[in-house]
Amino acid sequence: MAYIVALDQGTTSSRAILFNEKGSILGIQQKEFPQYFPHSGWVEHDPQEIWNTQFEVFKALLKVSEISPEDITAIGITNQRETTVVWDRRTGEPVYKAIVWQDKRTSDYCEQLKSDGHEAIIRSKTGLVIDSYFSGTKIHWMLENVKGARELAEAGHLCFGTIDTWLVWRLTKGEVHATDYTNASRTMMYNIVENRWDEELLKMLNVPASMLPEAHPSSYHFGDFDYEGVKIPIMGIAGDQQAALFGQACFEPGDAKNTYGTGCFMLMNTGNQCEISKSGLLTTMACSVGDELTYALEGSIFIAGAAIQWLRDALRVIDDASDSEYFATQVDTNDVYLVPAFAGLGAPYWDQYSRGAIFGLTRDTGKNHIIKAALQSIAYQTRDVKSAMEQDSGIALNTLMVDGGATANDYLMQFQSDILGTEVDRPEITESTALGAAYLAGLTAGVWTLEEIKKVRKTERKFTPNISKSERDKLYKNWQKAVERTFNWSKEE
């Protein structure tokens, strides 16, 4: 019997999940922690609360599952990405709260970096766009604004870490300061082409190299969790989206997954090709196993499941998100289009001035048409990102692996397959993120091989395209027409 524990440190809660060697879930413990919003646009977490909740759910998992620490073969970690912690290596005390990925306080600094002409160099080295989302400008802010931080950093006393790094530091009682490539590639300081921290970028952001963790492949023995005298090896780390890609067994170039939550996160494995996107996608590192580097293209959609929440909470045409399926199937036509650009449009359009709109209304349009159009908009946006990925990589999408709350909707999944013209594969275990962390740890520990993991992943249901190519092209063309008409809507003339 092998037991693997995945520590899944998310934006709103910390979870610990117990897997056996078949990849089945034996137990889950979860604890939420507070979110702090000190100013408009600022979002913070308390690193101590992150650690405490993560440690508590780990202890509770062992207790409820009646296993002892000796029974655990390995631990895997997956985490909210980009969120930034800085602490003093002598005391382990954070110098400030964690600045969360959603935090916008460095937007002006990002604008300055852009107007200083740094965009192209950052794009070519990191695969990212300049944005407050990524860790680099958050560290810069702390060093500039937290009293005494700059001096401590220059003296070599401060450590930077994304959440995985902070957890490893705490788990190993300060012995290990490390991260994995997937997390490093979200900092805007990591050169993903040359696979190293980049001195030029560090200089640009004025971050001392002494603050940085060592970066390793995702499948690696990072150190040991010293728990009640037992050493439990930490054998896998990946940022949440890359962990989900791995958990969906997307190991080959062209394998892709999409997570349907509030927004959508779609990633495509591009193998050892580091493609810098020409279509507005991000290039990022995927989970690397051994010496071979693995890359992925990433596209995010701001509003996906959130459009269904909007139907429920603002329009009040459904009581529950799951009701959307029934109402959508009461309509035969596909003539109404809803573009949910409530917060502008992300990949591949990147128009912050676009706003939501509904097109194709006639005298007989009713609420069911609008509900159907909202579900379809999730599928159309996914098609937009898929097309961009195929264009950038030159690789055709095989099958789309799916997970996340909205994949429970069979109508949406079928329409997704119809509009992509590819199979959509929904797994039995939709906890792809935690599963990915467990797979990585089990792989390093020798519990299974990549081939075995592929067999462990079980499909719950496959959706296959059910409309003709001409029908698909017609529907999609109208979607593109609708999207175009929302461009620049909120821009002052």
User: Which stretch in 82-90, 237-245, 301-309, 335-343 sits in contact with ligand ADP by CB under 6 A?
Assistant: 301-309
Beta strands in 242-312, from DSSP E residues, in sequence order: 256-260, 264-271, 282-285, 295-301
Q: Which is nearer to ligand ADP, 191 or 259 (CB)?
A: 259
In the bound complex, what is the minimum distance in angstroms from residue 15's beta carbon to ligand ADP? 12
Query: Are 254 and 386 within 8 A, CB to CB?
Result: no
Residue nearest to ligand ADP (CB): 405
Query: Angle at CA 233, nearest 5°, toward 61 and 182?
Result: 95
Q: Which is nearer to ligand ADP, 218 or 376 (CB)?
A: 376
SS3 content of the chain, % helix, strand, coil (to 5): 35, 25, 40
User: Which stretch in 155-163, 199-207, 316-324, 337-345 sits in contact with ligand ADP by CB under 6 A?
Assistant: 316-324
Which residue bears the tokens 């590819």? Answer: 422
Would you tell me the crossing angle of helices 410-420 and 469-484 to the nearest 10 degrees? 100
Which residue bears the tokens 């000796």? Answer: 70
Q: Which of 174, 261, 280, 360 binds ligand ADP (CB under 6 A)?
A: 261
What is the separation of C-alpha 402 from the centre of its chain, rounded to a whole number of angstroms? 13
**Does 306 interact with ligand ADP (rule: CB under 6 A)?**
yes
Q: Which is nearer to ligand ADP, 149 or 267 (CB)?
A: 267
Q: List the structure tokens of 429.
A: 């275990």
DSSP state of 439: H
* Gap between the Cα atoms of 277 and 388, Å rounded: 9
Q: Which is nearer to ligand ADP, 343 or 408 (CB)?
A: 408
In the bound complex, what is the minimum distance in angstroms from residue 309's beta carbon to ligand ADP? 4
Q: Which is nearer to ligand ADP, 27 or 305 (CB)?
A: 305
**What residues have CB less than 8 Å from 219, skipping those under 6 apart?**
235, 236, 287, 288, 289, 290, 440, 443, 444
In the bound complex, what is the minimum distance in angstroms from residue 280's beta carbon to ligand ADP? 22
**Does 14 interact with ligand ADP (rule: CB under 6 A)?**
no
Q: Which of 137, 279, 409, 417 binds ligand ADP (CB under 6 A)?
A: 409
In the bound complex, what is the minimum distance in angstroms from residue 294's beta carbon to ligand ADP? 25
DSSP string, 355-401: --EEE---TT--HHHHHHHHHHHHHHHHHHHHHHHHHHH-----EEE
Q: List the structure tokens of 343.
A: 């917060």
Q: Which of 322, 352, 480, 490 binds ligand ADP (CB under 6 A)?
A: 322
Q: Which is nearer to ligand ADP, 262 or 398 (CB)?
A: 262
Considering just the CA atoms, what is the radius of gyration of the chain in Å?
A: 22
Q: Which of 24, 112, 272, 309 binds ligand ADP (CB under 6 A)?
A: 309
By CB under 6 A, the count of residues binding ligand ADP is 16
Q: Which of 43, 245, 370, 406 binds ligand ADP (CB under 6 A)?
A: 406
Query: Are 160 and 213 within 8 A, CB to CB?
Result: yes
Q: Which is nearer to ligand ADP, 270 or 324 (CB)?
A: 324
User: Which stretch in 24-32, 90-98, 112-120, 322-330 sits in contact with ligand ADP by CB under 6 A?
Assistant: 322-330
**Does 408 interact with ligand ADP (rule: CB under 6 A)?**
yes
Query: What string marks each residue from 57 to 76 as x (binds ligand ADP by CB under 6 A) or -?
Result: --------------------
Q: Is the dihedral of CA 381, 387, 393, 397 positive or negative?
A: positive
* Gap between the Cα atoms of 250 and 236, Å rounded: 17
**Does 213 interact with ligand ADP (rule: CB under 6 A)?**
no
Q: Which is nearer to ligand ADP, 405 or 465 (CB)?
A: 405
Q: Which of 48, 102, 107, 262 binds ligand ADP (CB under 6 A)?
A: 262
Residues 128-167 that bind ligand ADP (CB under 6 A): none
DSSP state of 313: I
Q: Which residues pair with 359 in a beta bridge?
A: 337
User: Which stretch in 26-34, 183-191, 400-408, 449-457 sits in contact with ligand ADP by CB under 6 A?
Assistant: 400-408
Q: Which residues bind ligand ADP (CB under 6 A)?
A: 261-262, 305-306, 308-309, 321-322, 324-325, 404-406, 408-409, 412
